[in-house]
Amino acid sequence: MKITAKVKPNSRENTVKLLDSGIYEVKVSVPPEKGKANKKVIELLSAFLKIPKSKITLLSGETYKEKIFEIS
């Protein structure tokens, strides 16, 4: 299964919200440097979806705000 996430780095809080369009809005408090924000997004999605982090893989959008993840 593939999911799309719109990431907002440098936010005040860490949150995950499912929008009406089926896209996840993920706010992370870490900066988008050296993959820190991507790692935090995977952590938050893992907790939100109640699945292990190892089941989530970043497919595209490593340096963009809109990312596509594979859930295995």
Q: How many CB atoms lie within 10 A of CB 22?
A: 8
pLDDT in tens, 14-33: 999 999 989 999 999 999 99
Domains of the chain are 2-71 (3.30.1200.10)
The answer to whether 36 and 42 have CB atoms below 8 angstroms apart is no
The secondary structure of the chain as a DSSP string is -EEEEEEE-S-SS-EEEE-TTSPEEEE-SS-SSTTHHHHHHHHHHHHHHTS-GGGEEEEE-TTSSEEEEEE-
CA distance 56 to 34: 19
Which mean pLDDT values do the consecutive 10-residue runs of the chain (72 residues) have?
Answer: 95 95 95 93 96 96 94 94
